[in-house]
Amino acid sequence: MRLLGRALNSFELPDEILRRLDCALAHDGSLHSAHHSAGLHRETYRHTWLLPDGSALTLWELVHNTAPGSEPQHEVYVDEEELRAAGSRLALQPDTPDFELPAQVPLSPVPAPRHTYVPDASADHARRLLRRAENADRPGADLAERLSTACGHQITQAFGGPGRAGRARIGFSLYEHAFLLRDGVEVSLWEVEHTATPDGRHMCEVYDSEETARLAMERRAARVSP
């Protein structure tokens, strides 16, 4: 909203772009190029948003002044070709600039997320999952605090069906609860649901890695095997 509000030409953006931006989960901005000379300046920025379907949307911002000491003006473009065409129309002195970055500054690629996230009370989902975990070695307060910034999540079943125990009523299921944090980091909790309890009741355990969760399932199954 801040970017579109300051851009003089934001009304030219396609409606589809605006609809996709409405559900963005995370944002990253990077300086792409800069040219300062005789009181005039031209800077370009790359703005990238992570969307719930796992794709990335990029807009290019041009910032410049029309006279030395004048207020900067902002423009926004959908692709880099439009950005370059707009920048070429600005009358900056080409010789002996006071400050200049190369036209192409290498930018780190935006990592593709492993999951398709749903922005649906994700931080609350993490709290409820940790609250119902009965294992003493469940994730601690530090991870719970990080998950309080979750802005999207996805649940995937990684294992299901009867366990190795001899009794038919004993069963195990493993779920990955993947969370996207506001800083773009992905964190997963691994939930083990089973009935390998003395009275056969349903039990929930939560771990911070798939390996630890599967080892816990193996130990539970071994205890009830004939």
The answer on 83 and 22 residing in a single domain is yes
62 with 88: CB under 8 angstroms?
Answer: no
Give a yes or no: residue 113 inside a domain. no
pLDDT greater than 50 at residue 181: yes
179 with 122: CB under 8 angstroms?
Answer: yes
Give a yes or no: residue 157 inside a domain. yes
pTM given for the model:
0.55
| Separation CA 31–CA 194 (nearest Å) | 51
**Domain tally, the chain:** 2
Residue 75: the pLDDT is: 95
% of residues, the chain, pLDDT over 90: 38
The answer on 69 and 147 residing in a single domain is no
Give a yes or no: residue 109 inside a domain. no
Give a yes or no: residue 107 inside a domain. no
| Separation CA 221–CA 163 (nearest Å) | 6
Tell me the average pLDDT of the chain: 82
Q: Span 129-153, mean pLDDT?
A: 93
The answer on 75 and 128 residing in a single domain is no
The answer on 21 and 78 residing in a single domain is yes
The answer on 184 and 133 residing in a single domain is yes
Residue 102: the pLDDT is: 47
The pairing of strands 150-162 and 99-100 is: unpaired
pLDDT greater than 80 at residue 85: yes
Give a yes or no: residue 116 inside a domain. no
179 with 153: CB under 8 angstroms?
Answer: yes
Q: Span 10-19, mean pLDDT?
A: 90
Domain end, chosen from 66, 100, 134, is at 100
Closest CA to 78 of 54, 96, 59: 59
Domain end, chosen from 37, 70, 100, is at 100
Show the DSSP H helices in 30-121 as ranges: 80-88
Residue 135: the pLDDT is: 94
Q: Domain range holding 84?
A: 2-100
| Separation CA 34–CA 195 (nearest Å) | 62
| Separation CA 165–CA 195 (nearest Å) | 10
pLDDT greater than 50 at residue 164: no
> Angle at CA 93, nearest 5°, toward 88 and 95?
115
Closest CA to 177 of 206, 204, 198, 201: 206
The answer on 130 and 82 residing in a single domain is no
**Tokens, residue 72:** 């900067």
